[in-house]
Amino acid sequence: MHNRVRMIVASFLVKDLHLPWQWGARWFLEQLVDGDMANNQHGWQWAAGTGTDAAPYFRVFNPKTQGEKFDPSGEYIRRWIPELGTADYPDPIVDHKTERAEALRRYGAIT
């Protein structure tokens, strides 16, 4: 999995779905063939805004914008999600704008 995609996935899990970064870290370490404990933990803490050299808590990756910027032709995403844009593709379950605001509210409550 490309590093950009890892960052997008981590941001989505932690800041859009509001799940513990440890869940994603565990799954990545178990599933990805290049899993490295130190790199994996640091990457997830960075994305969650909790590590020693973390991304600012207000940095929330927008999956749609990231796709438009780094995969403008959609070639990468269609390779892994061929049903995208078809009738078989499910409706979104998360509104990024709403969940971003909720993540910022939560982070603001602890800073």
Q: Which helix (H) or strand (E) holds 10?
A: helix 3-11
Average pLDDT score over residue span 38-60: 87
Q: Domains for the chain: give ranges and CATH numbers.
A: 3-110 (1.10.579.10)
Q: Of 63, 73, 87, give the one whose Cα is nearest residue 4.
A: 63
Asked whether the predicted pLDDT for residue 55 surpasses 80, the reply is: no
Average pLDDT score over residue span 68-76: 94
What span, in angstroms and rounded, lies between the C-alpha atoms of 13 and 24? Answer: 7
Q: pLDDT tens-digit profile of 89-106? A: 899 899 999 999 999 999
pLDDT, residue 85, reads 85
pLDDT, residue 27, reads 96
N residues, the chain = 111
Q: pLDDT tens-digit profile of 3-25? A: 999 999 999 999 999 999 999 99
Task: DSSP letter for 56, please.
Answer: P
